[in-house]
Amino acid sequence: MPRPPLPLGTHGNIHAQQLANGSFRAFTRFRDHDGVTRKVERNGPTRAAAMNRLREDLRDRARQDTASTLRGDSRFKVAAEQWMEAVTLLVDQGLRSPSTAQIYRSTLDVHVLPALGELRLREVTVPRLDHFVQTVNLHKGPATTKLVRSVVSGALGLAVRHGAIASNPTREIAEVSGRRRRAARALSADERRAWIARLAGDEDARRKDLPDLCAFMLATGVRIGEALAVSWEEIDLDAGTVAIDWTVIRIKAVGLVRKRTKTQSGERTLHLPGFARSILRRRYLAAGGRGPLFPDSLGGWRDPSNTLKALRAARGSEEFAWVTSHVFRKTAATELDDQGLSARLIADQLGHAQVSMTQNTYLGRRAVSSAAAEALDRAYRDDEERSGG
């Protein structure tokens, strides 16, 4: 009666023999996932070393299908490149932003591959990975570290799905610690008026079209890339609305790209306040209602990076040195909050899917309403009256 075959992914008894040079060879039979039984062997300076190396190899072979291109002894850089190919495919399908792929690629090349690229996947252990991530945090800060962690997790997650490793070690490393997030700061009413007056009196700022651009951002709370991506086709002057469906970004080796907003919640139609409608009517008469709302000097899409550079030059280094394009977004959110709009309505205005993002990051108000103190006063006043206090 023929010997029954080994179950898929299992091996027979391990044997060892001494070689002529004094080292040892451990060997056995292993039935791969394609059904073929193969002889597997590993050498070592001692019998125990050879057998341990063979057991490690057998363990890795048992975890994976031979159709997979990744194994436990594959280098990390191979998994990382396959993961980047998957990210690029998602970009081509419109499911990821090109800028996201660009940031991942840069993070991989600059920080991750120099440290982990030559390691075998099974060598990327929790202690080794934790030490690497905390070192990046120490020297580069939490923002870069979170990107590094995301990239490493993506590559190792792919390795897990291929069966090359049993689990993703990034799940077990310590949390990334960093400086306390600075409180959101918005322009006060006086600061807002002073800022607009400053731009109106600055010849260079006027030439670079900053007064109207800043007023539009204050009126809508949109991001600078979204503001620069608005064309006259998205504006309905009669209804007083603007559709925010696009953003402008620069892609390395490609140039300026007008793409859809990052998420579905980012696509929104906003009603314009009266002062913004007046600005747009004036610009419509001047531009004829064609092309971008805020074009560059040649009439095309304007580069957000160059616009931010112009904004930094306009703000100076004293009174408004802290002002960034996001300050206009925070100011709009804070004004809506002060007017009593719900966090949900403010989140919709800003294009946030999660209300918590709006509350934690964009609402600059810190003082608690006096209504809380008045309610407590009413409650405790009864206690004092009863006790004769």
- The pLDDT confidence band at residue 158, using thresholds 50, 70 and 90, is very high
Residue 363: predicted pLDDT: 64
| Angle 249-345-265 from CA coordinates, rounded to 5° | 35
CA atoms within 13 A on the CB side of 44: 16
d(CA 48, CA 44): 8
DSSP summary character for residue 238 = T
- Is the pLDDT at 377 greater than 70? The verdict is no
Phi, psi of 49 (to 5 degrees): -65, -45
Q: What is the pLDDT of residue 362?
A: 65
Q: Where are the domains of the chain?
A: 15-63, 76-171, 189-322
Please report how many Cα atoms fall inside a 13 Å half-sphere around the Cα of residue 193, on the Cβ side.
Answer: 2
306 pLDDT more than 90: yes
Measured CA to CA, the distance from residue 38 to residue 248 in angstroms comes to 56
Q: In what order do the strands lie in the sheet with 37-44?
A: 15-18, 24-31, 37-44
pLDDT at 379 > cutoff 90: no
Contact, 32 vs 7, CB < 8 A?
A: no
- Residue 365's pLDDT band, with cuts at 50, 70 and 90, is very low
Strands (DSSP E) contained in 117-240 are 235-236
Q: pLDDT tens for residues 285-297?
A: 988 888 999 999 8
Residue 351 · residue 329 · CB < 8 Å: no
What's this model's pTM, rounded to 2 decimal places?
A: 0.65
Judge whether residue 66 has pLDDT over 50. no
368-386 average pLDDT score: 61
CATH code, residues 76-171: 1.10.150.130
* Protein fold of 189-322: hpI Integrase; Chain A (1.10.443)
What average pLDDT does range 335-357 have in this prediction? Answer: 84
Q: Tens digit of pLDDT for each residue in 249-287?
A: 888 777 888 888 766 667 889 999 998 999 999 999 988
Give percent of the chain with pLDDT exceeding 70: 87
Q: Would the pLDDT of 328 be above 90? A: yes
Q: What is the Cα–Cα distance from 303 to 208, expressed in whole angstroms? A: 12
At 180 the pLDDT is 57
pLDDT in tens, 7-50: 878 889 999 999 999 999 999 999 887 788 889 999 999 999 99
The pLDDT > 90 percentage for the chain reads 54
87-139 pLDDT, tens digit each: 998 888 877 888 888 899 999 999 999 999 999 999 999 999 999 999 999 99
Minimum mean pLDDT range among 62-76, 152-166, 355-369: 355-369
Section 230-258 average pLDDT: 89
Q: What is the pLDDT of residue 384?
A: 54
What pLDDT score does 368 carry?
46
